[in-house]
Amino acid sequence: MRPCFLVTGTDTDIGKTVFAAALVGALDGAYWKPVQAGLTGETDAKVVQRLSGLAGNRILPEAYRLSTPASPHIAAKRDGLEIDTGRLALPDTHLPLVIEAAGGLMVPLTRHVLQIDLFASWAAPVILCASTKLGTINHSLLSIEALRRRAVPFLGIAFIGEENEGSERTIIEMGQVRRLGRLPHLDLLDASSLRMAFDSNFCRADFVAEMPI
């Protein structure tokens, strides 16, 4: 069974796309963003292709490409449609698969389905990306609690940003979760520098299939 990981975040714009690019590049796998909300400029899939160094056929097509950068249920309504979660089945690939969520756990896909509900149905391990900035303790512990309440497999936390030893330790100890590593901000961000940063701060052996904690 090939490894499959769900990459989500405690908040928007914290660097989970960059982390997803680093992870899929390290695993030499495939990337999938089920719902892309916002098509102006470089989409998340394009960013991942550029930063992972993977060929274009490793970037799987989105199930939904929505025009507005907003919550998926709102973006879909503005495009005159409603997301059918039946179209969001896991892709069939023999490669390690990295799936990037649209924002955080409680983002609505429809008026009746939250993103975390889809995660629970997939039953693949979640990697929670958490910023090291002020507020991360609250956001992280709430996310951990939500995952556990729904019995979603949880691999661990990937911190993103400058070192914040006190906050990181508090989250790991109080949340009783695995610290996978911390991806620092990079002044020069390209495929080479990102791969080096991932290799220096994470252990590839931690990213194996079906090992929730």
Given the residues 16, 33, 46, 77, the one annotated as active site: 33
Encoded tokens for 208? 């194996």
Environment class of residue 131 by beta-carbon count within 10 Å: exposed (0-12), middle (13-18) or buried (19+)? buried
- Other C-beta atoms within 10 Å of 185: how many? 12
- Residue 16 annotated to the active site: no
DSSP one-letter code for 202: B
CB-CB contact of 209 with 152 (8 Å)? no
Task: List active site positions.
Answer: 33
